[in-house]
C-alpha cells in the first residue's frame, strides 16, 4: 500500500455557536490541511498519482474557503447545524474531494483529511472502507 499526502493551508475566520468561551467570538486561524490518498498500484512512471493532479484538485476546494468568514458559507451557516469546527471542516473537505476525484483517480482514493487550527490541535475525518 502506498500513501500520498498533500499539505496546504488557508486563512479564514469563524466563531463557534453554542460555545461557552472566547471562541464564540469571531476570530481567525491559519488552518492547516493534510489530505492523504492511498492505493496499491503504481503507474508506468512509478507514481500512485502525480502530486500535481492532487495539488490542483485540493487547491480548488481550499480556495473557496480562503479569506472567508466560514460561518457565512452555506455548509456552515447557522441553520445548517454545522459549526465550523476543525471536525466539520475536515468532513466537508473530505466529501468535496471524494466527489471531485471519484472519476479521475484510477489507482488511489482519498483516505483521510486532517484540519488543524494550530500545530498543536487538529481533527481528522475518514470513512469506513467500501
Ligand X SMILES: Nc1nc2c(c(=O)[nH]1)N=C([C@H](O)[C@H](O)COP(=O)(O)OP(=O)(O)OP(=O)(O)O)CN2
Residues near ligand X (CB under 6 A) are: 16, 23, 27, 85-87, 117-118, 121, 123
Handedness of CA 23, 24, 28, 29 (dihedral sign): positive
Site for Zn ion in 29-48 (CB under 5 A): none
State yes or no: 27 annotated in a binding site.
yes
What are the beta bridge partners of residue 35? 6, 113
Closest approach of ligand X to the CB of residue 58, in Å: 20
Contact (CB, 8 A) for 48 and 111: no
CB count within 10 Å of CB 89 equals 27
Active-site position among 3, 60, 67, 106: 67
Task: Tell me the binding residues.
Answer: 14, 27, 29
Active site residues: 23, 67, 117
Task: Tell me the binding residues for Zn(2+).
Answer: 14, 27, 29
Amino acid at each position: 500500500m502506498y500513501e500520498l499526502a498533500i499539505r496546504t493551508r488557508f486563512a479564514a475566520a469563524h466563531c463557534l455557536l453554542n460555545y461557552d468561551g472566547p471562541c464564540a467570538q469571531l476570530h481567525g486561524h491559519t488552518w492547516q490541511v493534510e489530505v492523504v490518498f492511498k492505493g496499491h498500484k503504481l503507474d508506468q512512471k512509478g507514481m500512485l498519482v502525480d502530486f500535481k493532479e492532487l495539488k490542483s484538485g485540493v487547491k480548488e476546494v481550499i480556495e473557496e474557503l480562503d479569506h472567508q468568514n466560514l460561518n457565512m458559507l452555506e455548509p456552515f451557516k447557522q441553520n445548517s447545524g454545522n459549526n465550523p469546527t476543525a471536525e466539520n471542516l475536515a468532513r466537508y473537505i473530505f466529501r468535496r474531494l471524494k466527489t471531485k476525484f471519484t472519476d479521475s483517480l484510477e489507482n488511489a482514493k482519498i483516505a483521510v483529511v486532517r484540519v488543524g487550527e494550530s500545530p498543536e490541535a487538529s481533527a481528522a475525518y475518514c470513512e469506513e472502507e467500501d
